[in-house]
Amino acid sequence: MFCVECGREGELVGALCRDCYSKKHVQPTIADHVDLTICAHCQSMQTDKGWEDIGSIRQAAEAAIEDSLVLPKDAKLSDFRVHLSEKDERNLEAKIAVMLVVQGHEFTRELLTIVRVKRGSCTECSKQQGRYYEAILQVRGPARTLPKHLEADVERLVRDRVGAMRKSSREVFLSKVEKVKGGLDFYFSTVNSARSVARELQEVYCAEFKGSSSLWGRRDGKDVYRMTYLVRLPGIFRGDVVALGGREFYVRGMSRGMLHGIDLLTGEERAIKFTERTECSLSQSKPEILKAVVLSEKERELQVLDPETMKPLEVRKPRGFSRKGDQTRLVKTKLGTYVLSDSW
Ligand SMILES: [Zn+2]
Ligand SMILES: [Zn+2]
């Protein structure tokens, strides 16, 4: 069999040899320039479907090149490789090896183009820049103040959760965090993210939770509401010592409306239903708890150096007491003096 074009003998595709067939029919093309718009803030890329997280500029460039390839009829792209070299800050030269399958035969062609990188601002970043929000989460402390250490804890928890949610949903972000009288205000881009974080705070801190909406305006002929979630933290937190019914408890944890306490006299654990009406009073807050050097330890007692009087003090050990170093936590209240186990 001979090629009808060049007369060469050998394997034919239709009536032509591979070379002639390739020259005549396998001509993929690409424009001289391929434009790529990248968000200057988050590196997402503008596509037909909107803004998408692609990964790196290199991956974005490959995606844009693939979109711009024009293949000959009946050809299937089996693979393509891109070699990028930077011509200047905004222009990348791309050498492309295109592997095609036509009529069961594989061909490789080389193409050249310039990727022009443009900077833009994606929808979400534009909203963020514009301080867009759909919900406010108000976190308030007890008695109209939010202690400093709690403020930091709450802010860390909120930012962590938002960061985690943002990984699966680009539209979730905090547009503003404001210190206000009595606590913190978090401005959320979506209602659902604000509600979910508010619920979590309620759970973690046994806090009071309220939601309310207010008419904000109209968009596309529909009323648009903004939500406000109020989370009011109780005056008691993990690590505090509280008094209840004449006994004192170390607060080991709080969740789902329950306070998980340890009776400081016996070392027994007790779950206490915790509501606004629980007659629980704060004996000593976590930051007030002292550290005392242990002088000697017996089976039932501990002798510590009282850091306030600098005198030795005998304290009964609660059940299950253990310590890691030569210091222990010391609690002195009106009702008694206790040491806290490091295992709590
Ligand atoms: Zn030929
Ligand atoms: Zn962006």
pLDDT tens-digit readout, 232-254: 988 888 899 999 888 999 999 88
> Is 90 exceeded by the pLDDT of residue 116?
yes
The pLDDT assigned to 276 comes to 64
Percent of the chain topping pLDDT 90: 44
Rounded to an integer, the average pLDDT of 281-287 is 87
C-beta separation of 74 from 26 below 8 A:
no
Rounded to an integer, the average pLDDT of 65-69 is 92
**Rounded distance from Cα 104 to ligand 1 centre (Å):** 18
Choice between 112 and 321, residue whose per-residue pLDDT is larger: 112
The pLDDT assigned to 83 comes to 95
Select, from the ranges 104-108, 120-124, 195-199, 215-219, the one with the highest average predicted confidence (pLDDT). Answer: 195-199
Ligand nearest to the CA of 8: 1
C-beta separation of 61 from 92 below 8 A:
yes
Rounded to an integer, the average pLDDT of 174-185 is 92
Ligand nearest to the CA of 44: 2
Ligand nearest to the CA of 2: 1
The pLDDT assigned to 336 comes to 87
Q: Which residues surround ligand 1, an ion (CB under 5 A)?
A: 3, 5-6, 17, 20
Rounded to an integer, the average pLDDT of 50-68 is 87
> Is 80 exceeded by the pLDDT of residue 170?
no
pLDDT in tens, 214-235: 887 777 787 778 899 999 988 8
**Rounded distance from Cα 21 to ligand 1 centre (Å):** 7
**Rounded distance from Cα 122 to ligand 2 centre (Å):** 4
**Rounded distance from Cα 103 to ligand 1 centre (Å):** 17
**Rounded distance from Cα 155 to ligand 1 centre (Å):** 72
What is the average pLDDT score of the chain?
89
The pLDDT assigned to 207 comes to 86
Q: Which band of pLDDT confidence, cut at 50, 70 and 90, is reported for residue 277?
A: low
**Rounded distance from Cα 9 to ligand 1 centre (Å):** 8
**Rounded distance from Cα 82 to ligand 1 centre (Å):** 29
The pLDDT assigned to 80 comes to 92
Ligand nearest to the CA of 129: 2
**Rounded distance from Cα 12 to ligand 1 centre (Å):** 8
**Rounded distance from Cα 54 to ligand 2 centre (Å):** 12
**Rounded distance from Cα 3 to ligand 1 centre (Å):** 5
The pLDDT assigned to 78 comes to 92
**Rounded distance from Cα 125 to ligand 2 centre (Å):** 4
**Rounded distance from Cα 80 to ligand 1 centre (Å):** 26
**Rounded distance from Cα 6 to ligand 1 centre (Å):** 4
pLDDT in tens, 8-44: 988 888 889 988 988 888 889 999 999 999 888 888 8
**Rounded distance from Cα 93 to ligand 2 centre (Å):** 25
